[in-house]
Structure formats: structure tokens, C-alpha cells
Chain A
């Protein structure tokens, strides 16, 4: 009986407390729009009624002087109305009460538009230090004020995040020389997360026919695993000991249409299907060459292909075929170590060349499906 009464009493007390809390919340909700600290009403009003924006936002910042969003909106509204001094004061106040990214970013933009260098770089440096998103918009502003990327980076305060952003930005603008400088700084950090970006940059340099810069960049990647040093006139990963990366000066492997390709250490094997097109590229590598004669030595085997396999090597420069090897003859797989062959060619200009192993059906022959295997390919100057 006693327990029952005690239980009822506790239940009643809990119910009363819950009711009280609910009532307090309800009262608070009703009075919320006019209580100190709630600026949402005025900010909403400013958005809905642009002519009233400034007075509404003034009321908002009076209610809550620590509301940085209201200060920023008031600053931008003042700027729209041509009141630059008021705008600057509000944005500086926003920065003072909120030391996060957004107020600094807003000030950066405002002082950029006002062409106030001193304040622009102060705010931009602050924003850069707190930037966690894509820094491209900040970099674009900085680049308009300081077109020298390295100088701009110094002013913004060096950081790997900014350097990555700058590298992407400069690549997008094809500003290779500055991009090289930024990439060099980034590569010194040796951070594995930068590997893909730097490989991508090397590919862009090659596409832009910046062979020398690409070679330098490629060799800066040595600190990352799986990148062999490249030099002029030498092929990288000549024994296929590592899986071709498809980047920079490493092999780029293309699966033949409707066929397949398989890599294992020291062997690259292609399967050409019966429906493989009459011509396709199987393997390519960029190489820097000086004018002169070169000898390509390679080991290969075939199975199922015709006597005239359709396989050959080509050297391309500037999108044009400069030299083409004779057709490779059939080299049965049962022959130990395959067939070691050589091909001599000459180039007349220094630059970036693309060595490719291609398949091209010989006119007058029928296409036969089969395997083609490459064990090594090395270049030397005789």
C-alpha cells in the first residue's frame, strides 16, 4: 500500500514537472521573436523585404551583436546601397565576433571589390588559414591581385592545402611555368596524398608538349613508390616488373577492343579476339629523345596469330608517325624466352616522342585471334 502511494506520488511529480517544462517551452516559443538574441525574424524580414533590409538587419545586430551572419548581411546590404564605410565597419565587426572562415571570406571579397590591398591580403590570409573547402575562389581573387603565384602564396601564408589548390588552378589556366614551381614545392613535402595530383600534372605537361618540364616533374616523384626515374632516351619500367601506371613516362596499356590484357611481374599479355578491330594501339610510352639513331630491343611471344602477326612498333612525334618497325613475325610461346628482336630508327628533332606497340591487320590476310606477350622493351643509342 505504501509502495503504491509512493509510486503514485512520484508519477504525479514527474507528470507535473513534464507539464511545467512543456508550458515553459510553449511560452518561450511565443515570446521568442521578441527576445534578445533571436535575430532570425529580422534576417528573414530583410530577405523578404529588400527595401527594409538594412533597418531590419540593424535591429538584428542590436538584438544579438555576436550574430556574425547578420553583420555580414548588413555589410553587404550597405555595400549595395553604396554605403562603403558602413559596409566595411559591419564586415570588420563580423570578423571580430566570429573568427571562422565565412566572415574572413566575405571581407576578402569586399576589400577586393574596394581594391583595398592592405585589407584584402589581411582578410585573404585569414580566410586561407581556415579554408577547408576548395580554395579555388579565394585563389582566383588572390590571382587577380597578385598574378605571380609564388608571391601570392607567400602573401596568403603557405600551406599544402593552398599549394594543391594553386596547382589545380594554374593547371586549369595552362600556366605551366608557375605550376611547375608550385608542384616542386608540393613534391618536397613528400605527402602520399599528393601523388595522384602530381602524376596528373605530369600528364598535363606531356599533353601540353612540355617534355622537359614533364621529365623533371616525373623524376621529382621518386620519393613516392612505383615511379622509376626517367632520362632522355631511356624507357621506364622496361622489364614490366611493376604494373604499368598509365601516367607520365610509364607504360600506358590499352585493352584491345573485345580482347583483354593481363599483367604479371615481367610479362604483359594481350589477347586479341576475333572481333578486334583492324587497327588498335596496345601499349605506349612517352620518351624524350635527342636527334640521332636509337635501337629498340624487345622480347615477345605470340600464339594463335598469323605468320604476319600485324604487330609492329611505331614512333610518333607531334601526333605524326615518324617511324614504323617491320611487321613482327610469329614467335611461338613454346620457344624459351620468346623471340628477342631489335628495331633501329632515327629521329631528327629533339623532343617528346611516343613509342607505341600497335596491331594493324595486314591487308590480304584474315584476322586471327590469339595471344601476344611482351617480356621487355628497352631503348639504347647504338
Chain B
């Protein structure tokens, strides 16, 4: 026991001396973090066991065991088993499988995850986000803690996911078309709608619509279809009454008249016991559906049998 103590003390002393020594030479390329796993993984296509050092652009492929990556930026990533990622100092590109991003509280926000052309950015520094690639096209994004913003390949905000919610997303979905569902409200002379699935608020306008068309639908839960989403407004071609969301009052039963932008939205939709098959939002070329119990609420999201965007 005493020998053990002496040995440990000696090792600690040696380590202190070694880490404090002045013989350091600056690394040519600074590492960006570490990767640790219980088994083996592939680092830049070479098999590595247990742990390794990450450099900018490193490719990590996990096998049966998940891997944990701690980046100098403060981001902590769990790469699930059978996944492939490419990691950079400020972002991670998910190429296969699933990953979970968490950040040590106090670190600056800004770490991004890119997957299939979408960019996922947690809002708060302590947010925890899980991203899963499903099939050939779908991405499931869950805000386990904190909220998340999702941007399309053009940099447009296409979804805001509240804490505890999840969305199934499919990029490259009829670019240029839009389909959103929510209550039509006014703010000054502007008609606004917050999509219940994506939580995105847009100004509704359209040359094919008259003021009376919009006024008639004011306060109603409606579905708008159109085009031209540029981050703030949708050029609407058609406004139709939406069927009542399950577990909520029928549309028109209790019009609220106005509602704050960003309120309700995905949270309200996802919290319903069931979600109608029409709850697929299309915005900025991305289709979105709320996820309940790990599955997309609408079975029609995905594959070639997708529900039509406009009717």
C-alpha cells in the first residue's frame, strides 16, 4: 500500500515536471479536440482503438460502439454507433447515422451541425440536440434541451424547434413551393401566420388574394399554399380552412384574432395526442412534420409517395 502511494506520488511529481517543462514546441497544426470510445473506430479511414486526437476536417466512423468527442470550442458530441461524421472546429457534418450535440454551459454558441444540406444551430449555449439521418432523405432533429434553429442550404430559416420537441425534415422538397398551417392574424396592416409545425412566422400576401379573402379567414386556422418564401413573406396562391387539429377546438370555434408571432407553433402541434396527416409544412424547399414517439407524425413524409404540396 505504501509502495503504491510512493509510486503514485512519484508519477504525479514526474507528470507535473513534464507538463510544466519549457521544452514545448508549438504543434504545426493545432488539434481541435479528442475522440474516445469503448471499442474501435476509424479516424481518417484508419482503424484506431479507444481514443484519438482530432484535427480540422477529421473523418470519424464509429463501429459497434458510440464515440464521444470533446472539442476545444466547448462542444461535446456523442456520435452514435455505425455513424460517420466529419468534424471541424466550429461545425460537424453528419454523413451517416446519428449524433447528439451538447455544449458545456458558458461556452459561446455558434457550433453547427450540417446534414443533407440543412444547418442545425442550437440557440442556447447549454442546448442538447440529437440529429438522426433516416433513409435516403430524411433528417430527424430533436431539441432535447434548449431550442434549435434549422436553415436550408440557402441560409433561410426553415424551422424553429422548441425544447422537448422534434421534427422530421426532408430537404429538396419542391423548391419554391410553400405550404403552412396556422391561425391568420393581423399586425398593423400585415397578415401574419405562424406555421404550427415549423414555428416560422411569415407575412401572408398575394396578388391573387383580395383583402376580403384574408379578412374572412382572420382568426381562423387555415392552410396556405403558395411560393416565394424569402425568409419573411410567402406569396400565397390559396387560403383554405384547415381541419381542426386533434385535441384542439375546431377552427372558427374560438377565433383569437391576434397572436404573438412565434407563439404556439410546433409545441402546440406536437403536444396533441395525434396529428393529422395534413400537418406537413413545406417551407424554403424543406418539408417538415412533427415527430411523436420517434416517428414522423405523417406517414406520407418521405419516399416518392409524398403528399402533394398544393392542391
A interface list, Cβ under 8 A from B: 47, 65, 69, 72, 76, 79-80, 84-89, 92-93, 96, 102, 105-106, 109, 111-119, 133-134, 136-137, 140-141, 144-145, 147
User: A145, B70: Cβ atoms under 8 Å?
Assistant: no
Residue from B15, B21, B53 within 8 A of A85 (CB atoms): B15
Number of residue pairs spanning A and B whose beta carbons lie under 8 angstroms apart: 97
User: B51, A137: Cβ atoms under 8 Å?
Assistant: no
Known pairs A85-B16, A115-B26, A117-B24; A76 contacts B11 (CB<8 A): no
Residues facing A in B1-36 (CB within 8 A) are: 4, 7-8, 11-12, 14-16, 18-19, 21, 23-29, 31, 34, 36
Query: Contacts of B14 on A, CB cut-off 8 Å?
Result: 89, 92
Q: In chain B, what residue has the closest Cβ to A145?
A: B27
User: A89, B34: Cβ atoms under 8 Å?
Assistant: no
By secondary structure, the A interface counts as helix
User: B15, A92: Cβ atoms under 8 Å?
Assistant: yes
Q: In chain B, what residue has the closest Cβ to A65?
A: B4
Query: Contacts of A144 on B, CB cut-off 8 Å?
Result: 27-29, 55
User: A116, B34: Cβ atoms under 8 Å?
Assistant: no
Residue from B7, B23, B55 within 8 A of A117 (CB atoms): B23
Query: Contacts of A117 on B, CB cut-off 8 Å?
Result: 23-25
User: B34, A136: Cβ atoms under 8 Å?
Assistant: no
Query: Contacts of A96 on B, CB cut-off 8 Å?
Result: 7, 11
B interface list, Cβ under 8 A from A: 4, 7-8, 11-12, 14-16, 18-19, 21, 23-29, 31, 34, 36, 38, 43-53, 55, 70
Q: In chain B, what residue has the closest Cβ to A79?
A: B34
Residue from A47, A80, A140 within 8 A of B70 (CB atoms): A80
Return 21 A-B CB contacts under 8 Å, by A number: A47-B38, A69-B50, A76-B34, A88-B18, A89-B11, A89-B14, A89-B16, A92-B15, A93-B8, A96-B11, A105-B51, A109-B53, A113-B31, A113-B34, A115-B26, A116-B18, A136-B44, A136-B45, A140-B44, A140-B55, A147-B28
In whole angstroms, what is the CA distance A133 to B31 when docked?
23
Residue from A47, A65, A88 within 8 A of B19 (CB atoms): A88
Known pairs A76-B51, A102-B49; A118 contacts B23 (CB<8 A): yes
A275 to B: closest C-beta gap in Å:
36
User: B23, A102: Cβ atoms under 8 Å?
Assistant: no
What 7 pairs across the A-B complex have the smallest Cβ distances?
A: A88-B15, A136-B46, A89-B15, A89-B12, A115-B24, A134-B46, A109-B53
User: B23, A116: Cβ atoms under 8 Å?
Assistant: yes
Residue from A87, A102, A112 within 8 A of B31 (CB atoms): A112
User: A137, B48: Cβ atoms under 8 Å?
Assistant: yes
B98 to A: closest C-beta gap in Å:
18
User: A109, B15: Cβ atoms under 8 Å?
Assistant: no
Q: In chain B, what residue has the closest Cβ to A91?
A: B15
B44 to A: closest C-beta gap in Å:
7
Q: In chain B, what residue has the closest Cβ to A117?
A: B25
In whole angstroms, what is the CA distance A141 to B29 when docked?
10
In whole angstroms, what is the CA distance A147 to B49 when docked?
25
In whole angstroms, what is the CA distance A8 to B210 when docked?
103
Query: Contacts of A134 on B, CB cut-off 8 Å?
Result: 46-47
Query: Contacts of B43 on A, CB cut-off 8 Å?
Result: 137
In whole angstroms, what is the CA distance A96 to B3 when docked?
14
User: A145, B48: Cβ atoms under 8 Å?
Assistant: no
In whole angstroms, what is the CA distance A69 to B28 when docked?
30
A123 to B: closest C-beta gap in Å:
11
Query: Contacts of B34 on A, CB cut-off 8 Å?
Result: 76, 79-80, 109, 113
User: B50, A72: Cβ atoms under 8 Å?
Assistant: yes
User: A106, B53: Cβ atoms under 8 Å?
Assistant: no
In whole angstroms, what is the CA distance A355 to B27 when docked?
47
In whole angstroms, what is the CA distance A354 to B12 when docked?
64
Query: Contacts of B55 on A, CB cut-off 8 Å?
Result: 140, 144
User: A112, B51: Cβ atoms under 8 Å?
Assistant: no
A107 to B: closest C-beta gap in Å:
10
In whole angstroms, what is the CA distance A93 to B4 when docked?
11
Query: Contacts of B29 on A, CB cut-off 8 Å?
Result: 144
In whole angstroms, what is the CA distance A118 to B25 when docked?
10
Residue from A76, A86, A112 within 8 A of B36 (CB atoms): A76
Query: Contacts of B49 on A, CB cut-off 8 Å?
Result: 102, 105, 133
Query: Contacts of B70 on A, CB cut-off 8 Å?
Result: 80
Q: In chain B, what residue has the closest Cβ to A141?
A: B53
